[in-house]
Amino acid sequence: MSEFAQQLIRWQRHHGRHGLPWQGRRDPYAVWLSEIMLQQTQVATVIPYFERFLDCFPDIATLAAAAQDEVLAHWSGLGYYSRARNLHRAAQIMAESHAARFPREFEKILALPGIGRSTAAAISAFAFGERRAILDGNVKRVLARYFAVAGYPGEKKVEDGLWRHAEALLPETGVEIYTQALMDLGATVCTRGKPDCQRCPVGANCIANLQGRQAEFPQPRPRKVLPEKTTTMLLFMRHGEIFLEKRPPSGIWGGLWCFPESDSVENAQQQGESRFGFESDSPEYGPVLRHVFTHFRLHIQPLIINVRRIRPEVRQHEGLWLSVEDAVDAAIPTPVRNLLASLDRLV
C-alpha cells in the first residue's frame, strides 16, 4: 500500500466524517441515491433531502412505481433536476430488467442513466467493496494539488492524467475507507478557497503545498461571459389560488410545474386569454428576479394577473389551480418557489 493511501486511511479513522446518514450502509440503493444527490450539492443541503426521499421511496421498486411528479416534488429545491429524472428512469430499468435489484456488475451500473465512471466506482466500492478508483470534484482538487497537475480538469487530457494518478494510488485493501478519506479530505481540508494544509495528512509531499501554489491548482474553468436571457412569468390568480402548468419533459426544468411564460410583457394578458381563456384585469409588475444557470443568466419579470373569468369554450391546457401552500409542495423549480414565497409582498 502506498504511503499516500496509508496516511489517508489513518487520518480518516480519527479525523474523517463518520456520522453521515448514508455512511456504513451496504445497501446499493441508498449509496446510489446519496452519490447522485451529492453531485454538485453540499452535504448539509443533501442530508434532509436524502432522509425524506428514503422515507418516501425506501427501495427501487417503490421509486420505479412512483409518478414522476411525486419524485420531482421530493427533489424540488435541490436543483439539477435531470438527476431526479435519471434516478427515476434508472429505477424503472432496474425494475424491468433486474427484478428491482441493483446490479453488481460495474458495466451494468455504468449503463444506468445518470451514472458516470466515478459514480459507478463509488457505488461499487461502498456497496460491494470492489477496488475502483473515483474522481469526483473533491478528488480532482486533491490530486491536482498533490501532483501539481496543470490545466482545467474538465479538459479530457487533464482528466485522463488525473484518472491515471487515481488508479495508481488505489490500495489493494481498505478501498472503502480510502475512498471515504479522499472525499472527506477534499470536502473538509483541501477545500477550494482556503485549504487547511497544516491539517492535511499528505501535505508534506504535496507539490502545491511545498511550493506555496495551492491557489493555482486546479485551474478553474475558462471564464466565459454568460449570455443574458429574459422571460415574463405570468402569475395568474383567482379566488386565492395560483395557476401552474407542466413544462415539457426535456429541457430546462423538464417535467416541473411552472408559471406560464410570455414572450413579452405587452402580450401577457392577450396570451393568457388566447391560450387559457382567462379574462383578466391589467397585470401588476413584480420586481425582476435573477436566476443563474451554468450556461446563462435568466432575468424573470413576474406579472401578477387577477383572473375574473375563465371562458369555457377555450380548450384548457394541462394546468392546475392550487393554493399557494399546495403549490409550494409541488414539483417546482427554485425561481417559482421564490416567487411564491414573495406573493405576500407582491399582492
Catalytic residues: 35
Q: Which of 255, 232, 243 is nearest to 333 (CA)?
A: 255
Residues contacting 337, CB < 8 A, separation 6+: 76, 77, 328
**Biggest distance spanned by C-alpha atoms of the chain:** 76
Helix (H, G, I), strand (E, B) or coil at 89: helix
Separation of alpha carbons 170 and 134, rounded Å: 9
Parallel, antiparallel, or unpaired: how do β-strands 297-310 and 284-285 relate?
Answer: antiparallel
Residues contacting 18, CB < 8 A, separation 6+: none
| CB-based burial label for 282 (10 Å; 0-12, 13-18, 19+) | exposed
